[in-house]
């Protein structure tokens, strides 16, 4: 059975902006393209990527970026009530951004590791596995 990993919004943005950690994401995308692993991302987290790209590059460029992401070998996971409930439970327990709670909830429900460089996820490391993008950890 192939391993599955979840890209959170931070990881996706690092890749889009070619920031530290981008090469790790690129390698994961190539592995997914080659069929060596599955990559997923929560629709809600992609929404966060979209609004941040709008702020940084405008709506037209942000739309292009999201359309390009849709062609990548990463499956978008829809947000259903089970995910909302689980994310809300995480938010009630941990002081972390609500959008990050959706990545955590999705990872918990699907029993997968989150790929991120966002230090906020340290607060949730007792709940879910985290693969850190930066090499300093």
Check which CATH number belongs to the domain holding 103 and give it: 3.40.50.1010
Is 20 inside any structural domain?
yes
C-alpha to C-alpha distance for 54 and 60, rounded to whole angstroms: 8
Is 54 inside any structural domain?
yes
pLDDT per residue as tens digits for the range 87-101:
999 999 999 999 999
> What is the DSSP secondary structure assignment for residue 121, as one 8-state letter?
G
C-alpha to C-alpha distance for 28 and 106, rounded to whole angstroms: 19
Domain count for the chain: 1
Is 21 inside any structural domain?
yes
Q: What is the mean pLDDT of residues 123-128?
A: 94
pLDDT per residue as tens digits for the range 22-48:
999 999 999 999 999 999 999 999 999
Is 44 inside any structural domain?
yes
Is the pTM higher than 0.75? The answer reads yes
Q: How many CA atoms lie within 13 A of 83 on its CB side?
A: 20
Is 137 inside any structural domain?
no
Nearest residue to 8 via CA among 47, 52, 42 = 42
User: Could you tell me what percent of the chain has a pLDDT over 90?
Assistant: 93
- Residue 112 corresponds to which tokens in the numbers above? 């997968």
Backbone angles phi, psi at 26, to 5 degrees: -60, -45
Structural domain for 116, as ranges? 3-132
C-alpha to C-alpha distance for 103 and 35, rounded to whole angstroms: 23
Is 91 inside any structural domain?
yes
């Amino acid at each position: 059975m192939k391993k599955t990993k979840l890209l959170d919004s931070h990881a996706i943005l690092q890749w889009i902006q070619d920031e530290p950690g981008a090469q790790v994401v690129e390698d994961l995308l190539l592995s997914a393209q080659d069929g060596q692993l599955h990559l997923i991302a929560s629709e809600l987290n992609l929404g966060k990527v979209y609004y941040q790209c709008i702020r940084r590059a405008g709506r037209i460029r942000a739309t292009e970026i999201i359309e390009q992401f849709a062609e990548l070998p990463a499956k978008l996971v829809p947000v259903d009530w089970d995910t909302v409930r689980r994310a809300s439970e995480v938010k009630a327990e941990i002081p972390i951004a609500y959008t990050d709670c959706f990545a955590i909830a999705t990872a918990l429900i699907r029993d997968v590791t989150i790929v991120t460089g966002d230090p906020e996820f340290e607060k949730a490391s007792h709940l879910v596995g985290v693969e850190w993008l930066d090499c300093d950890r």
